Amino acid sequence: MSRAGGPIVRRGREVVPGYRVVGLLSRGRTLDVYDVWSEERGCRCVVKTLRPDRLDDARARNRLLREGRLLRRLAHPHLVRAYEVIVEPRPAAVLETLTGETLAHLVDRRSRALGGAELGILGLQLASALGYLHGRGVLHLDLKPSNVVAEGGRAKIIDLSVARAPGRIPPGVGTWCYLAPEQARGEVVGPEADVWGLGATLWEAATGDAPFDDGDDGPEYPQLVRDPEPLARRRPRLPRQLSDTIDACLRAEPARRPSLAGVVRRLARVEGVPDLSRIR
């Protein structure tokens, strides 16, 4: 089977040694993601590998291997796990299989919007994973609903392909309508950029819309020219503590955003959300 990007590995064939294809999950600009059977583990896994037409793309290769090696060093209930990184004959990262759906898909298919307690618990789980990353000197920098998988009441962050240490970055690293203003401008980024991503993700989870998706007719980066609509206007029945916290995460100036610890404290005060800091 073949399509734009080169041939797709057929079902039952090895995409890399020891991993037989069950099916193609997705094809992106540089990567193919396969559902595979692991001969060694006797179970299904996920393999991310370069598209056939990108095998000579050194930047894409390095980015994939860097992501796989980073995920292998991490272990957190709300982060996808990596089992193995393969360099030859074809670069690949072997990841755990997640049986849920992306937050973007969940929000799109539900007839009812997520409630206050659901949003608060989601926020605590994502903040927990981000705090773990930050403690290891890593920023995610691409948090959005399509990079969160909801599985049995547990959220897991995926795709650390642009993750890096705090510091100055090239303009626009990440996904345009979820970028913190300093990220869009290519300035120095720190944990505050992921606080912004958390706010944007929760705002969309609450409303079904990205806070800064103005379509093709708007400015390149709407977040550089306007503030988001206050969440309470879209969801007036949400607990004010929750909507105010999400709005605070989306403040233009990094110094005015709450810290992740501050976000956790605020969300823990939302009705129906357990305060996990009291569990010892």
* Angstrom distances, CA of residue 90 to CA of 54, 66, 102, 112, 242: 11, 15, 27, 44, 46
User: Euclidean distance between the first and final Cα of the chain, in Å?
Assistant: 54
**Domain residue limits, the chain:** 2-95, 101-275
Catalytic annotation present for 142: yes
* Architecture field, domain 101-275: Orthogonal Bundle (1.10)
Q: In whole numbers, what is the pLDDT of the chain averaged over residues? A: 93
Q: Residue 69 carries which DSSP code?
A: H
Rounded to 10 deg, the angle between the 116-135 and 260-267 helix axes is 150
Catalytic residue among 142, 159, 194, 247: 142
Q: What phi and psi, each to the nearest 5 degrees, are found at residue 155?
A: -95, 140
Q: Does residue 39 sit in helix, strand or coil?
A: coil
- Model confidence at 2: pLDDT above 60: no
Q: What is the pLDDT of residues 186-224, one digit of tens each?
A: 999 999 999 999 999 999 999 999 998 766 566 788 999
Q: What is the pLDDT of residues 128-183, one digit of tens each?
A: 999 999 999 999 999 999 999 998 889 999 999 999 999 999 998 999 889 999 99
Give the neighbor-by-neighbor strand order of the sheet with 14-16: 14-16, 19-27, 31-38, 43-50, 92-95, 82-86
Q: What is the pLDDT of residues 43-76, one digit of tens each?
A: 999 999 999 999 999 999 999 999 999 999 999 9
Cβ neighbour number for residue 147 with a 10 Å cutoff: 22
The identity of residue 37, as a single letter, is W
pLDDT of residue 255: 97
User: Which residues, in sequence order, are CB contacts of 39 under 8 Å at separation 6+?
Assistant: 18, 19, 20
Report the CATH fold assignment for 2-95: Phosphorylase Kinase; domain 1 (3.30.200)
Q: Are 110 and 118 in contact (CB under 8 A)?
A: no
Write the DSSP string, 206-259. HHSS-TT---TTS-S-GGGT-PPPPHHHH-TTS-HHHHHHHHHHT-SSGGGSPP
